[in-house]
Amino acid sequence: MHALGALDSPPPSDVSPIPNQSNPMSLPKTSPITTRHVVALPFPGRGHINPMMCLCNSLASLNPAAYNTDIIVTFIVTEEWLGFIGSEPKPDNASFATIPNVIPSEIGRGADSPGFYETVLRKIKTPVEDLLDRLQPPVAALIADTYLVWSVEIGNARNIPVASLWTMSASVYSVFHFFDLLVQHSHFPVDLEERGEEHVDYIPGLPSTRVADLPTCFHGKGVNALDRALESVASLSKAQFFNFMIYMQDELGSQNLYCDNYNKALLVQFGRTWVSKTRCLYELEAQVIDALRANTSIPVYHIGPTIPHSKVEAESRPSEARYFDWLDKQPIGSVLYVSQGSLHSAPKAQMDEIADGLRESKVRFFWVAREAASELKERCGEMGIVVPWCDQLRVLCHDSIGGFWSHCGWNSTSEAVFAGLPMLTFPIYWDQVPNSKMIVEDWKIGWRVKKKGVGEEESLVGREEIAGIVRRFMDLESEEGKEMRRKARELRDIYRQAIRKGGSTYANLEAFVSDICKQDF
C-alpha cells in the first residue's frame, strides 16, 4: 500500500461539548492504547476524491493521545487514481489501498456522466468488498461517498459503522430530501418555459428559489440521473442506529446541531451507528441546517472545510510552477482567475465568446482550460495566460488575483470563499446552478454572467456583454465592487476562524473521532 500524503499535525485543541457525546478528553489516561482503522471510500471522480482526501488528512492529523487511540486511515482508489494522487509524502498513519481499473478512465468521463455512474455502481462493489475483508487491522469505520448507494449494505453486512459523505451543499441536499414537496406543488416534472420563474418557497429552511435555479437534474441536463440521485439519498433510510453528521466543507460552522424526527428518506444505514456529512457551513446555510435539525432525530456535526487549506497555509517556499512567476509580476487584485471546471464545460461557441470577451475587456486573466488551453491561448491575446492545470487554491490565494470566473462547483465555491474572492458565476450542470444563486443572491459576493435560465439551454452570452461585465467586476474602485469584496473578506474571516484551534470545525472533528473510539469492537 502507498501512503496518502503529507498531513501536518496541528496541536490538540479543546473540544466544544456536543449534546449526548462524551468529551474525548475525559477518557481515562490509564486506558490501554487501542487502534481504530478508518477506511475512506470516495466516488471515483475529482470532485469527490479531493474532499474525501482532505477529510482523511484532518482525521490523520488529530492527536491520538487525546483518545488513548491510534487512528489509521486507508484510502481506497482505483489503480488509475493512485497514479494521479499517490506521489505525495507518506505519513505513517495514512495509506492508499487499490482496486483494479474495472471502470472507464477518469479522462473523458464527462462525455457520459450517467453511464459512468452506472458502471461505477455495478463494477466496484465486489472489489471493494474483497478488499475490506482483507484489510488489517479490522475496519472500525467506513466513510463512503453518498453516491455509492451500496456502501451502507456492505458495512452493515460486516458490522462496520458507515459515515456517508455528501459532497455538495446542505441546500442541495435538502432539495433532494424534500423532493416529494416539489411533486406536491407541481414543480416536478416541470416545463421551465412555463414555470421556470415561479418560486419554490416551501422547502424547510431553503431561501425562496426560482424553479430554474434548482439542480439541473430536475428539469434539464442530468435528468436521466435523477433516479440514482434520489436513490442515494433514500439509501440512508435503512439505518438501525442514527448518528447523523452533516459534514460541512465551507467551514463557517460554529454550532453543534442536533435534530429531531428526520424524514426516513435521508437516513443512512450503519451496522452499528450512522453518520452523514454534507460539505457546507452553518453560517452560510444556517436556516437549511436548522430545518434539517428540526426534521431528524440524529446528531449533526459540522466539519470542514474539505479543501486543502493546510497545504496552502504551510507552504512557505516559492512555487516551482512557472505561472507563479507571471502572477508575481501583476498588480495586487488585478487578475481574473477563470475556470469552467474539470468535468463539464460550455459549448465551443460559448468558449470562443468568453475568450474574445476577455481579450476585448483588457483585463488581466489567468485561465485554466484543460484540453483547449493551446487554442484559447492563441485567441485570448496578451493580457493573460492560459494553462491546462494549476494548483487552484494556491493561485486563488495569490495577492494578484482579484476575482474568480467560476462554474460554481462546490469545491471551487468553497475555495473562493476561503480565498476571500468575489465570483462571476457561469454554471453549467447539476448543483452549479443553485450554487450560483447562493453566491449572487444569498451571500451577495458575486454577479451572474449567464442569463437567467437553465444550464445548456440558455442563450449564448456574447463577447461584448462578457467584456463589459468583466471590466465592471474587476474595477476595484467602484462602490459596488468594494462592497462585494468587503463581504467576500468577511466570509473568508469567518470561514478561517472555524478551522483554527478552538473553532467549531476542529471540535466537531474531534467529536466524530470520539464516536469512532467509543465503539465496542
Judge if 2-184+235-306+501-518 and 320-474 fold alike in CATH terms. yes
DSSP conformational letter for 75: E
User: CB neighbours (10 Å) of residue 451?
Assistant: 10
243/274 Cα distance (integer angstroms): 5
Indicate if the pLDDT at residue 315 is higher than 60: no
Sign of the Cα torsion 6, 12, 18, 20 reads positive
CA distance 368 to 386: 6
Cell of 146: 453518498
The least confident of 9-13, 138-142, 432-436 is 9-13
The region that residue 251 occupies, defined by phi over 0 for left and psi between -120 and 50 for alpha, beta otherwise, is: left
SS3 sequence of 306-357: CCCHHHHHHCCCCCCCHHHHHHHCCCCCCEEEEECCCCCCCCHHHHHHHHHH
| Burial state string for 366-392 with b = 16 or more CB within 10 A and e = fewer than 16 | bbbbbebeeebbeebeeebbbbeebbb
Least confident span in 286-290, 335-339, 461-465: 286-290
Question: Residue 99 above 80 pLDDT?
Answer: yes
Ramachandran bin of 26, using left for φ above 0, alpha for ψ from -120 to 50, beta for the remaining angles: alpha
Instruction: Please say if the pLDDT value at position 297 is more than 70.
Output: no
Provide the b/e sequence for 274-287 (b: ≥16 CB within 10 Å): bbbbbbbbbbbbbe
pLDDT at position 27 over 60: no
Q: What is the pLDDT of residues 57-67, one digit of tens each?
A: 888 887 666 66
Per-residue pLDDT of 270-283, as tens digits, reads 233 344 555 556 66
2-184+235-306+501-518 is classed in which CATH architecture? Answer: 3-Layer(aba) Sandwich (3.40)
Q: Where are the domains of the chain?
A: 2-184+235-306+501-518, 320-474
* Residue 304 Ramachandran class (φ > 0 left, ψ -120 to 50 alpha, else beta): left
Position 106 scores a pLDDT of 86
Q: What are the start-end ranges of the H helices in 239-317?
A: 286-294, 309-314
Please give the single-letter amino acid code of residue 276. Answer: S
CATH placement of domain 320-474: 3.40.50.2000
Specify the range with the lowest mean pLDDT, choosing from 78-87, 101-110, 510-519: 510-519
Count CB neighbours of 326 within 10 A.
16
Whole-number pLDDT of residue 242: 30
The CA distance from 100 to 83, in Å, is 12
333-348 pLDDT tens trace: 999 999 987 766 788 8
